[in-house]
Amino acid sequence: MTTSIVLFTRDLRVHDNPALAAACREDKSVVPLFVLDTDLLARVGDAANRLRFLCSALSELDDELGARGGRLVVRHGRVVDEVVRAAREVGADTVHLAADGTPYSRRREDALREQLSSARGELRVHGSSITAVDPGAIRPDTGRGHYAIFTPYFNRWLETPVRRPVPPPVTVTVPEVESEAIPGAADLDAGPGSPQLAVGGETTGRKLLEQWLSGPVRRYEDEKDIPAADGTSRLSPYLHFGCLSVTEIVTRTPAADPGALAFLRQLAWRDFYHQVLADEPRVAVADYKTTPAEPWRSDPRGVAAWQAGQTGYPMVDAGMRQLLAEGWMPGRARLIAASFLVKTLRVDWRIGAEHFERWLVDGDVANNRLNWQWMAGTGTDTRSSRVLNPLRQADRFDPEGDYVRRWLPELAQLPGAEIQRPWRAGVLAADYPPPIVEFNGM
Ligand code: FAD
C-alpha cells in the first residue's frame, strides 16, 4: 500500500487543493501534515492575530478532512526534520507541496528537496495553488523576469487561462501515525490580539465567499473605496492562509459584470506582487527602485500617535483603530494611513510595514511590503509624488463621516462631515488630540 505526505503550508483547504488531490488520487493513503515550524514561529511570534486565525484554520481543516474519513496530522519542530521523520515513520517516498515564491518558502522547498533526495524520496511541487497565475508564467517581452507595471500585466493576466479547479477528495485515508493535538492560541503563546478578529478556516471562508458571489460582488466597483459601506469582500485572510483557492474564486467570478471585473483586477494585483517578489526577493526588505530614496525622518512621537490612532486626523485614526480592533482594514483606509506615515511624516515604509504585519490578520510579505513601497514611491508605482491629503480623502470617501463615527466614539457627537475637522467645531473632545501636522484644507 503506497503512502504519501501532503505538507500543508498556506493552502489550508480541501477544495481545489492540487497537492491533496494528487496525493489522494495516486496513493492508497496520505498523511495530511501541518508542521508548526519553529523557525517561522520565531519570526511571527508577535503576530497574535495571524496565529489565532491559523489555529482556527487548522481546526476547520481537520474537520473538513474528518468529514472525508481523514484527519490533520500536526507536528511541532523544524519543518524539514519533521517531514523527513514523518515520511520515514509511514514509509512514504513522495511529499506533495504547494509552490510558493516567498524567500522563506523557496529556502524551505530547496532544503526539503535536498533532504528527501538523499533518502531517495521525491518532492512534488504543485503550481497555481497560492496564486491564480504562477509567478513567471507571464513575462514581459523585454526579457525581464517580471512585470514592473500593473496595467500591461493585468491585460496579459486576463488573457491567461486559469487551470480548472479540482474537486475535494471524496475520501482521505490516513495511516496509523502520531499527531499532536490541533493547537490553540495558548499553545502558540499568541497574545490577546484584536477583540473583533475574524474566525479562520475553510468552512467559514466558503460561507463568506458564497455570500459575496451571490450579490455584493456586483456592487464592488461602486463601494470598494467607501469604508463605511463595508463593500469589499473581506476575503484577504482566507486568501492569505489558502483557506480559499484564488483559482476557484477567479473561475467563479463573472468577468462580464463591471463590479466583478473590478474585483478580479484586485485579485490580479495580488498575483502581480507575488510575481515581483518571486523574481526579486530582495524587495521584501530593500527598496524596489534602486535610485536612492530621499532620507527618512526619525519621528518616534509621530509613529506612536499613528500606531495608536491619535494623529488628530479622524480619517487616518479611524483606519488605525480598526486595525487594532479587527486586525483588518479596508484598502482605502490602508492607503490613507500609509500615505500619512511615509509621505507626511516622512517615516521609513519598513516601520509602517512592520506595524501592519504585527496586527494584520492578512499580513503578507508580497502584498504588504510592495503596497507600502508603492505608497512610499520606492516601489513599482510610477507616480512617486502621490500624497493623499486625509481631509480631501475624507471629503471624498467618507462625506457623512459615518466611517469615522464608527471608530472614534469620542467624536461621535459631531454631526455629518463636521466630524472630519473636529478643531473647527471648537469642541475638541478632551481625549482626542489636535492634529500633529498641518494640511491644506484644515
Ligand atoms: P477586496 O477589495 O475585496 O479585494 C479582493 C482581494 O484582492 C483581497 O482579498 C486581496 O487578496 C486582493 N487585493 C486587493 N487589493 C490588493 C492590493 N492593493 N494589493 C494586493 N492584493 C490586493 N493585502 C493583503 O492581503 N495583505 C497585506 O498584508 C496587505 N497590506 C497592505 C498594505 C498597504 C499599505 C496597502 C495600501 C494595501 C495592503 N494590502 C494587503 C492590499 C489590500 O488593501 C487588501 O488586500 C484588502 O484591503 C483586503 O480586503 P478585502 O479582502 O476586502 O479586499
The amino acid occupying position 88 is R
Instruction: Judge if pTM exceeds 0.95.
Output: yes
Kindly report the protein residue whose alpha carbon is nearest to atom 9 of ligand 1: 236
Sorted by where each starts, the structural domains of the chain and their CATH numbers stand as 3-130 (3.40.50.620), 132-165+202-279 (1.25.40.80), 300-425 (1.10.579.10)
pLDDT one-digit tens code per residue, 350-377: 999 999 999 999 999 999 999 999 999 9
305, 200 Cβ separation under 8 angstroms: no
Which of 53-57, 139-143, 293-297 is predicted least confidently? 293-297
197, 52 Cβ separation under 8 angstroms: yes
Asked if the model's pLDDT at residue 428 lies above 70, the reply is no
Q: At what angle do helices 331-339 and 314-326 cross, to 10 degrees?
A: 120
Asked if the model's pLDDT at residue 323 lies above 80, the reply is yes
Kindly report the protein residue whose alpha carbon is nearest to atom 16 of ligand 1: 266
Q: Ligand 1 pocket test: which of 102, 211, 236, 270 has the largest number of ligand atoms within 8 Å of its C-beta?
A: 236
Q: What is the pLDDT of residue 431?
A: 81
> pLDDT class for 430, splitting at 50, 70, 90?
low
Q: What is the pLDDT of residue 291?
A: 85
Q: What is the pLDDT of residue 427?
A: 63
Mean pLDDT of 24-28: 96
Kindly report the protein residue whose alpha carbon is nearest to atom 6 of ligand 1: 267
Average pLDDT, the chain: 95
As a whole number of angstroms, the distance between CA 240 and CA 242 comes to 6
pLDDT one-digit tens code per residue, 85-124: 999 999 999 999 999 999 999 999 999 999 999 888 999 9
3-state secondary structure of 241: coil
pLDDT one-digit tens code per residue, 121-162: 999 999 999 999 999 999 999 999 999 999 999 999 999 999
- H/E element, 33: strand 29-37
> pLDDT class for 386, splitting at 50, 70, 90?
confident
Q: What is the pLDDT of residue 6?
A: 98
Per DSSP bridges, beta strands 73-77 and 94-98 are unpaired
For residue 345, count CB atoms less than 10 angstroms from its CB and return exposed for 0-12, middle for 13-18, buried for 19 or more.
Answer: buried
Cα-to-centroid distance, 266 and ligand 1 (Å): 7
Q: Which of the pair, 332 or 117, is modelled with greater confidence?
A: 332
- H/E element, 104: helix 103-118
Cα-to-centroid distance, 242 and ligand 1 (Å): 14
Asked if the model's pLDDT at residue 416 lies above 80, the reply is yes
Main-chain dihedrals φ then ψ at residue 8, nearest 5 degrees: -75, 140
As a whole number of angstroms, the distance between CA 78 and CA 83 comes to 9
Cα-to-centroid distance, 228 and ligand 1 (Å): 17
Asked if the model's pLDDT at residue 381 lies above 80, the reply is no
The residues that bridge with 89 in the sheet, in sequence order, are none
Asked if the model's pLDDT at residue 73 lies above 80, the reply is yes
> CA of 289: how far to CAs of 25, 156, 242, 293, in Å?
45, 23, 30, 8
Q: What is the pLDDT of residue 294?
A: 82
What contacts 316, CB < 8 A, 6 or more positions away?
A: 306, 309, 336, 337, 340, 390
397, 227 Cβ separation under 8 angstroms: yes
Identify the residues whose C-beta falls under 6 Å from ligand 1: 224, 232-236, 239-240, 266-267, 269-270, 273, 330-331, 334-335, 338, 356, 360, 362-364, 367-368, 371-372, 375
The residues that bridge with 8 in the sheet, in sequence order, are 34
pLDDT one-digit tens code per residue, 197-255: 999 999 999 999 999 999 999 999 999 999 999 999 999 999 999 999 999 999 999 99
Q: What is the pLDDT of residue 214?
A: 96
Please, where are the H alpha helices in 187-257?
A: 202-213, 220-223, 236-240, 246-252
Computed over its alpha carbons, how large is the radius of gyration of the chain?
23
